[in-house]
Amino acid sequence: MLACVCPPSPSRWDPKTCTLELIGFHDPRVYVMSLSVIKHKFILVGDAYGSVQLVVWREEDHSLTALSKDHEDCQVFSAEYLIDEPGMAIVVADGRRNVKVLQYAPNATNSRGGTKLLCQSDFYLGSRVGKLTRRRTRGNLRDGARYCLLAGTLDGGLGAVLPVDERVFRRLYALQGIMSNALGHNGAANPRAYRLFDHGPTFRYETKQNMLDGSLLWRFVGLDAKTQHDLTRAIGTTVDRVMANLLDIDLASLF
């Protein structure tokens, strides 16, 4: 069992004395806001001011060892693993209403030997996420188990984050770029600019984006046939293919 009273402390149940025995501890940066465990050994620690840290539990010597961390300061509200077999990513929701996807890549040259979690994509959600919960889905975009993250926001909203195939991503990412410029938007607010990551007063790294905006893409379904044809022709695809991709994503989010 992993308990967190400021520092995360693994405990073991002693059936003889009916008590929990402290068998290790790990000192976080400031204050732990989020904990997530996968494969009974990899622990994701979300800090109130120090972003996230990936820690490994070693049963042999009852130790917690820091593997990697995000070097950018952020106020973590929730953090969770997103599984896309055979890979895995880390999704972080922060106090500035952002969501970003990090990856542990020890072989990458800019990961500093694996000690730095690399940002793969970021997205301004517009709401603070109180909890990210991983759920296995019933629908599949391809063979193999699929997972999505349910995001419950503090203003009563519910959203989902899920991985998609790279070809589908490239096609829909091009489509949402065209839709951002070609369609009219409420208050003349451009979705591309609205979804830019909010860095706050400091600017530490280049914005990655690389995330599909479901609220924008689903507007495609309600457009007239001529507008749909014009948009898909601009990116070199067909209406049927885009509709099939959107349907696959919709089915993949069923759980």
Residue 21, classed as helix, strand or coil, is strand
CA distance 73 to 205: 12
Q: Does residue 141 surpass a pLDDT of 60?
A: no
Q: What does the block give as tokens for 101?
A: 């996807």
* CA dihedral of 145, 107, 68, 152, whole degrees rounded to 10: -30
Q: Is 138 exposed, middle or buried (0-12, 13-18, 19+ CB in 10 A)?
A: exposed
What is the tens place of the pLDDT at every residue in 163-179?
988 999 999 999 999 99
Using DSSP bridges, classify how beta strands 8-14 and 118-124 pair: parallel, antiparallel or unpaired. Answer: unpaired
What is the tens place of the pLDDT at every residue in 196-216?
888 877 656 667 788 999 999
pLDDT band at 13 (very low <50, low <70, confident <90, very high): low
CA distance 160 to 130: 13
Residue 91, classed as helix, strand or coil, is strand
Q: Does residue 1 surpass a pLDDT of 80?
A: no
